[in-house]
Amino acid sequence: MKLDPTSDEFRAAAHRAVDWIADYLDHIRDYDVLSRVQPGDIEKQFAAQASEDGKPYDELLRDFETKIVPGITHWNHPAFFAYFSNTGSQAGILGELLCAALNGNGMLWKTSPSLTELETLSLRWLRDALGLPNDLFGIINDTASINVFFALAAAREALGLDIRGKGMTGRDLPPLRVYCSEHAHSSVDKAALALGFGQTAIVHIASGDDFRMRPEMLAEAIARDRAAGALPCAVVATLGTTSTVAIDPLPEIAAIAKREHCWLHVDAAYAGSAAIVPEFQWLWRGIEHADSIVVNPHKWLFTPMDCSVLYTKRPDVLRQTFSLVPEYLKTTDTAEINYMDYGLQLGRRFRALKLWLVLEHYGLERMRNTLRDHVRFAERLADELRKRNDVELLAPQSFSVVVFRLKAGDDATMQLMERMNATGKLFVSHTKMRGQYGIRVAIGNGATEWEDVAQVLAFLG
Ligand code: PLP
């Protein structure tokens, strides 16, 4: 039995869906940013079992609007200031739509040459637009979390201990060490755990008052570990930490990593996108020493979830770590890249299509100006907050992120955040730095205007 006898029903429903998307984007400020449903509210609206006879699209699109959308927190909302926004865009949405239609799988070049070649092309464009060294190889994976996993796996392989061949147990190996700032993202720890380094292998280096890693503490930790017989494997520098967007001092960290023969991974998941703006490229000082770098276009480059880029100047090591080609995947073509060789995934969807569409449709200059606006909004917000006696910045404003607290204390700060979020007009999240709670305002949506950001000030009276 044919699943879809004709495309008529689909065509009508898809037109309706696209109209719905356009209306949604036009009127997105009418939605509460943060969903107000309670746990279980969404699930209980649906039948206990899957439908036996199927349902028409009309009914399902109605269900989507009335039953599913109420349980959505609107990451595409211009007043979504929590975490780091996942910046969608109309070009990105179009890319996702066409990607689903093609349903391609780019495991090998020949399983869809366009998937591989557009990934190579768009990552070369992006690399050059970001002002990164031109010897970097790039690959798209879903998240920065999986990319740091791949980077640390490569770092481990680069030690030359034949861990690929012999594994890590039942043999005389020194304890390995991975170093990152105390403010590095938890994905670094998770990757090291999953790779079998063990929790004791993850060394969190203290930061200064500005929350940037202290290089002298890194050097000390490495010396201490070496003296105790451990083997330093990798150093992770963060350019734009999650809580306060602190920028670790990369040149100093890179010099230590080089001297100690450690793999240097740079996590620029959020802030890296800023570097398409020439005046923000100072961010990369020392980047030529990085073995691997992560930038997430899905965080601040208008590309919908999910799209995280791993650049490396040592693709040979990544390949050596992950390539395993069974008979049924062997090819006789001369393609240089089969992306399946550079990670865990075999099947790979066409993520490059949305990135290519975003880059081509908007052009770099328009995106630069949008990013400049975001940073200007953050500067203006920080200026306004600094004028007040009842508020203090918890960290220096950095790129498009401002973190502040009420001087009245933690309870007052958290209550203010709850009050803001309860209105549905904006969504901010919190962090805790040196024992004090702060409210994070992270700007990143392509439609955000100053009036969206100024709502924060209105709450302060
Ligand atoms: N690195 C940094 C600095 C982050 O802020 C985040 C998430 O916010 C990540 C890594 C993990 O990103 P992903 O959600 O793509 O795994």
Quick one: pLDDT at residue 25? 96
In this prediction, residues 233-239 reach a mean pLDDT of 98
Polymer length in residues for the chain: 461
Q: Decide: 143 in ligand 1 pocket, CB within 6 A.
A: yes
Give dist(CA 34, CA 32) in Å, integer.
Answer: 6
CA of 187 to the centre of ligand 1 (A): 7
Quick one: pLDDT at residue 85? 84
How far is residue 279 from each of residues 131, 247, 270, 369, 372, measured CA to CA in Å?
A: 11, 16, 17, 12, 10
Quick one: pLDDT at residue 147? 98
Quick one: pLDDT at residue 95? 97
Does the pLDDT at position 335 exceed 80?
no
Atom of ligand 1 nearest to the CA of 147: 16
CA of 339 to the centre of ligand 1 (A): 22
Instruction: Dihedral sign for Cα 130, 284, 204, 158, please.
Output: positive
Give dist(CA 289, CA 255) in Å, integer.
Answer: 8
In this prediction, residues 237-252 reach a mean pLDDT of 98
Which residues have CB under 8 Å from 426's CB, separation 6+?
33, 79, 80, 81, 420, 452, 455, 456
Quick one: pLDDT at residue 86? 80
Q: For 206-230, what is each residue's pLDDT tens digit? A: 999 999 999 999 999 999 999 999 9
Q: pLDDT band for 448, please (50, 70, 90 cuts).
A: very high
Q: Mean pLDDT for the chain?
A: 96
Is beta strand 176-181 parallel, antiparallel or unpaired with respect to 436-442?
Answer: unpaired
Q: Decide: 145 in ligand 1 pocket, CB within 6 A.
A: yes
Quick one: pLDDT at residue 87? 80
Atom of ligand 1 nearest to the CA of 306: 15
CA of 244 to the centre of ligand 1 (A): 13
CA of 12 to the centre of ligand 1 (A): 38
Q: For 426-446, what is each residue's pLDDT tens digit? A: 999 999 999 999 999 999 999
- Mutation to probe ligand 1, out of 296, 303, 306 (largest number of atoms < 8 A from CB): 296
Quick one: pLDDT at residue 422? 96
Q: For 74-115, what is each residue's pLDDT tens digit? A: 999 999 999 998 888 999 999 999 999 999 999 999 999 999
- Mutation to probe ligand 1, out of 181, 185, 305, 351 (largest number of atoms < 8 A from CB): 185
Q: Decide: 185 in ligand 1 pocket, CB within 6 A.
A: yes
Domains of the chain with CATH codes:
105-349 (3.40.640.10)
Quick one: pLDDT at residue 126? 98
- Mutation to probe ligand 1, out of 75, 81, 84 (largest number of atoms < 8 A from CB): 84
Please work out, in degrees rounded to the nearest 5, the angle formed at the alpha carbon of residue 234 by the alpha carbons of 236 and 172. 150
Q: For 245-273, what is each residue's pLDDT tens digit? A: 999 999 999 999 999 999 999 999 999 99
Stated pTM of the model: 0.96
How far is residue 328 from each of residues 20, 108, 112, 147, 333, measured CA to CA in Å?
A: 43, 12, 16, 27, 14
Q: pLDDT band for 129, please (50, 70, 90 cuts).
A: very high
